Amino acid sequence: MPGVRDLHEAFGYVTVVANGLVGVWGIVAWRLPRLRGRPLWVATIAAEVTVLITVVLGTILVAAQDFEPSEIHMFYGFVAFATVGGMYGYKYLWKARGWLELAYGLGGLFLMGLAIRAILEA
């Protein structure tokens, strides 16, 4: 499945850029309320979906193609997948404390870092 592998690799780079951008946006929006709102959350959701797509494509590669990435590469994918769920799980706590944009901004930068490490370990 060479097409799936190329798509997985491309989405890895999209994940880095998308989560880096929304990460910075979220941190800045925490300090500048005028940058908050629906566009921030739509972009954040889109960036997090890139993580999920990348993980699903990687899973397809491993399951259907008997592709053998390094174990640390798969670990980074699992941690990224779990991070998206964890961030969603804590959103009401962060919102109540006024940290929502900061937390999602830092989470976006963390996801970017995980994607970079996964790419380097591929």
Domains in the chain, please, with CATH?
A: 2-121 (1.20.120)
Q: Please report the pLDDT score of residue 1 as a whole number.
A: 55
Continuous segment of H or E residues that includes residue 15 = helix 2-31
The pLDDT tens digits for 23-76 are: 999 999 999 999 999 999 999 999 999 999 999 999 999 998 778 889 999 999
For residues 36 and 28, what is the distance between their CA atoms, to the nearest angstrom?
9
pTM over 0.85: yes
CA neighbours closer than 13 Å in the CB half-sphere of residue 122: 18
12-119-59 Cα angle (round to 5): 60
